[in-house]
Chain A
């Protein structure tokens, strides 16, 4: 009987260890920066992608408040919203990198509930918008250049049209003058 109980416990412990390593592998595999925070915003778990993106050591992130790694005021706002509404989708903010430079990101967050205990924290994931933002700047610059070109073209166009109208007017004037000249010649 004791052996049977011991075996059950052993099997359960093995299952927990397997489950733990599975979760760890999944958490480590994803290229998306992820973290789990408690309702006070303290980071309790972070994945390697988050560590890589921010440049901070895992020791410096876990146990610290998420607000230390996000644009001022945003972590509190998003956390408040996710705890109230259960999830937050696509909020733009900025993750602070160690040293210089920030990463523009879209944030997704989901609260974690435990049956009978309520909300005990939230998962955060961040989609790096650096390339999107770079492309946005490129598109803006290209648009600006295009607008300038269009303006130039319009100026040329206005000038060309003006010149053509003038030519037509001049032609008419010449014709009129020719007619007048003919009249004078006849009268002489």
Chain B
């Protein structure tokens, strides 16, 4: 297992303030189902139960409803545990997520250019999460990169890997070219914020 998750981590994650829309669990469910069918979903739900956070993806996940933000990280952790996923595979999971997210469909109209996505990035974050703040900090069209910072989100490094893939995928849809993402700063490494760099 690539990610270390202690009981202390789980408690911290569960007590995190804020909420997340159920659409993210719908997307997770789809990822699990495509990977391992109903058996896979059972496996992930068992992992969640082991973390004292039982969740039924089919019955409980509702696209527009809000859930404790910690569930976002715990769902990804449970998936990584159930399938023994590497950092790269978690990033790939993040890359696939916007392709099937209902919420992202609402934002399709902004997938016209890097500039437009930059302009709407914060709004897109707010539609998914009630806490945390996503702020674009730099964009250079000639050098083909975007930098954005995520403030006030301190859940687990697995979410950072997931978001690298997620942001790369969203930018790819906007610029129409292959992208590569990395995290330049991270609260789990002592920085005050997360900083993501997406190049194309």
Give the residue among B63, B109, B174, B175 with the most A Cβ atoms within 10 A: B109
Cα A187 to Cα B53 in complex, Å, equals 137
Residue B124, interface by CB 8 Å: no
Residue A160, interface by CB 8 Å: no
Cα A41 to Cα B172 in complex, Å, equals 11
27 cross-chain CB contacts under 8 A: A16-B63, A17-B62, A17-B63, A36-B108, A38-B108, A38-B112, A38-B173, A38-B174, A38-B176, A40-B112, A40-B175, A41-B176, A44-B105, A44-B108, A58-B100, A59-B96, A59-B99, A63-B98, A63-B99, A63-B169, A63-B172, A65-B176, A117-B109, A120-B108, A120-B109, A120-B112, A121-B109
Chain A residue nearest to B113 in the complex (CB): A40
Besides A42-B174, A59-B99, 7 more A-B contacts (Cβ < 8 Å) are: A38-B108, A38-B174, A39-B112, A42-B172, A42-B176, A45-B108, A62-B99
Residue A26, interface by CB 8 Å: no
- Find residues 47-73 in chain A having any chain B CB closer than 8 Å to their own CB: 58-59, 62-63, 65
Q: Which residues of B contact A121 (CB under 8 A)?
A: 108-109
Cα A16 to Cα B23 in complex, Å, equals 12
Cα A121 to Cα B173 in complex, Å, equals 12
Q: How far is the CB of A117 from chain B (nearest CB, A)?
A: 6
Q: Which residues of B contact A117 (CB under 8 A)?
A: 109
Residue A20, interface by CB 8 Å: yes
- Find residues 94-137 in chain A having any chain B CB closer than 8 Å to their own CB: 114, 117, 120-121
Q: Which residues of B contact A40 (CB under 8 A)?
A: 112, 174-176
Query: Considering the complex of A and B, which 6 residue pairs feature the smallest CB-CB distances, nearest first?
Result: A40-B176, A62-B99, A13-B64, A120-B109, A42-B173, A38-B111
Is chain A's binding surface mostly helix, strand, loop or mixed? mixed
- B-side interface residues, number (CB < 8 Å): 22
Residues of B at under 8 Å CB distance from A?
34, 62-65, 95-96, 98-100, 102, 105, 108-109, 111-112, 169, 172-176
Cα A188 to Cα B116 in complex, Å, equals 122
Q: Which residues of B contact A44 (CB under 8 A)?
A: 105, 108, 111, 173
Chain A residue nearest to B62 in the complex (CB): A17
**A59 with B173, Cβ < 8 A, contacts A17-B63, A38-B111, A117-B109 known:** no
Q: How far is the CB of B68 from chain A (nearest CB, A)?
A: 18
Q: Which residues of B contact A16 (CB under 8 A)?
A: 63-64
Cα A41 to Cα B105 in complex, Å, equals 16
Q: Which residues of A contact B95 (CB under 8 A)?
A: 63
Docked-complex contact B173 and A63, CB < 8 angstroms = yes
Chain B residue nearest to A38 in the complex (CB): B111
Q: Which residues of A contact B65 (CB under 8 A)?
A: 13
Cα A58 to Cα B33 in complex, Å, equals 13
Chain B residue nearest to A121 in the complex (CB): B108
